Amino acid sequence: MITKIEELDGKFVATLEGEMDTIAAMEAEEVLKPLYHSDGKDVIIDCAKLEYIASSGLRILISILKGAKAGGSRVVMKHVNDDIMTVFKLTGFVDLFEFES
């Protein structure tokens, strides 16, 4: 999978592409770690090309969310597909994150 982060207009934008299984999540975490301390900046996570996510991937997302909440900023999930949304629903993530299409 491909994981990128960039800073745009004072916001972090993370792009997740492909399948985030347990192994991929371990690799992605290395890239995404800076977002655990977003220092008051909003985080946008683009899931347009995210096909699959395991619970280890979900743990990363929740860690990012906890960091952002601590700094008073928002985490917005963008372009989440139905399959991923199913997982988000099962785990209660739909109530934790903000979603944009």
C-alpha 31/C-alpha 98 separation (Å) is: 22
Q: What is the nearest approach in angstroms of other proteins to the Cβ of residue 16? A: 15
Q: Which of residues 12-31 bind other proteins (CB under 8 A)?
A: 19, 21-23, 26
Q: What is the per-residue DSSP string for 36-80?
A: GG-TT--EEEEEEEEEEE-HHHHHHHHHHHHHHHHHT--EEEES-
Structure tokens at 76: 């917005």
Q: Which of residues 71-100 bind other proteins (CB under 8 A)?
A: 82-83, 86-87, 90-92, 95-96
Q: Which residues contact other proteins by CB under 8 A?
A: 19, 21-23, 26, 51-56, 58-59, 62-63, 65-66, 69, 82-83, 86-87, 90-92, 95-96
